[in-house]
Amino acid sequence: MPGSYPAVCPLLAPSANHRIGPITHIVDTGRNTTDQRPPRDAAAPGSNRGEQPNREIAEQQEQHSTLGAWAATYGEAHYDILPLRAKVPLTPHGVLDATSHPDIIAQWWDRWPDANIGCRVPEGILVLDVDPRNGGAKRLAELEREHGDLPPTRTTISGRGDGGQHLWFLHPGGRVSGSRLGSGLDIKTSTGYVVLPPSIHPKTGQPYRWQEPVAIVAWPPTWLQRLLLPPRPYLMPVRANGASDSDALVRFVRVQPEGNRNAGLFWAACRAVELDATAATFERLVCAAMAAGLSSTEAWRTVRSAMRRAS
């Protein structure tokens, strides 16, 4: 029922041509619209046989009520929602189970009242995932210094408290890839999901939040659209007479231009795994990547990622 929903919730509604446009859904509860909690019930939540629950229990139950109310509001706004334990789907088929059906959402939060709120990325949207622990904030700052600032857009702030963000942009169309963005940056599209506020981060116990609840979803700047284009397929580099496949891969990595260094190193390292290359080969690939402009840390991270992927 409307009275049980949060006072302000940023919503996305599909238009006739399936593009996503920003709207604002405001429920008049007579409260401060920046308060993200739903109205309290008249009775104390979770009271047992008339006893007043202690503060910790009351806060936990209010949190559960808040998450269920937000899940219902997101569903009413046509977000496809799914319940999460921390960041992992609780339903059998994960993101494929996401729905905006109010009865299903209500059943889920009746069953898992403390579940976090996952959202399948809406069609027509892509989300830029900034992970500071893997260098994402630093890399994004480098890109903005080189190309210009990103426009203001709808943004969620991670409850981890380290500056992690999800920046929502309109999808430019066609195939997109995050492989050329660099370390700590990735994208999510309608095949994936994100965590929505006010879900609780499992490490800190702090909520995710909207940076600006009613911000519009912006169009990505031209430079970001270019970086999102999938890299061209790689052909096995031709080796010179007497050179080994490993030599050819090392030369290939050394000449990769800026914007393609990580992707080129990743591809070469995957090929090296397939060739059952020695540890020395991977060290040479890292040295070649450093000669091309990557840091040692970034190069080794990419090589290890290729080893896990290809093995």
pLDDT in the model for residue 263: 85
Each residue's pLDDT tens digit, 121-157 = 999 999 999 999 999 999 999 999 999 999 999 999 9
Whether residue 21 lies inside any domain: the answer is: yes
Residue 189 lies in a domain: no
Q: What is the mean pLDDT of the chain?
A: 78
Give 272-292 pLDDT, tens digit per residue: 888 888 888 899 999 998 888
pLDDT in the model for residue 63: 54
Confirm whether 145 is domain-assigned. Answer: no
Identify the pLDDT of residue 280.
87
Grade residue 199 by pLDDT with cuts at 50, 70 and 90. Answer: very high
Asked if residue 39 is part of any domain, the answer here is yes
What is the rounded average pLDDT of the residues 165-183? 91
Q: What is the mean pLDDT of residues 226-252?
A: 69
* pLDDT (average), residues 227-252: 68
Per the domain annotation, does 216 fall within a domain?
no
Q: Per residue in 1-16, pLDDT tens?
A: 333 334 334 444 333 2
72 domain-assigned: yes
Residue 110 pLDDT grade (very low, low, confident, very high; cuts 50, 70, 90):
very high
Q: What mean pLDDT do residues 176-201 have?
A: 92
Which of 98, 121, 144 is a domain's end point?
121
3-state SS, one letter per residue, for the chain: CHHHCCCEEEEEEECCCCCEEEEEEECCCCCCCCCCCCCCCCCCCCCECCECCCHHHHHHHHHHHHHHHHHHHHHHCCCCEEEEECCEECCCCHHHHCECCHHHHHHHHHHCCCCEEEEECCCCEEEEEECHHHCHHHHHHHHHHHHCCCCCCCEEECCCCCCCEEEEEECCCCCCCCCCCCCCEEEECCCCEEEECCCECCCCCCECEECCCCCCCECCCHHHHHHHCCCCCCCCCCCCCCCCHHHHHHHHHHCCCCCCHHHHHHHHHHHHHHCCCCHHHHHHHHHHHHHHCCCHHHHHHHHHHHHHHHC
Residue where one domain finishes, among candidates 90, 121, 152: 121
pLDDT (0 to 100) of residue 42: 28
Quick check: is 301 in a domain?
A: yes
Q: How confident is the model at residue 242 (pLDDT cuts 50, 70, 90)?
A: very low
Domain end, chosen from 79, 95, 121, is at: 121
What distance lies between CA 275 and its chain's CA centroid?
34
Q: How many domains does the chain have?
A: 2
Q: Is the pLDDT of residue 162 over 80?
A: yes
pLDDT of residue 33: 31
Domain that holds residue 10: 2-121
148 is a domain residue: no
Give 41-72 pLDDT, tens digit per residue. Answer: 323 233 333 334 344 434 444 555 689 999 99
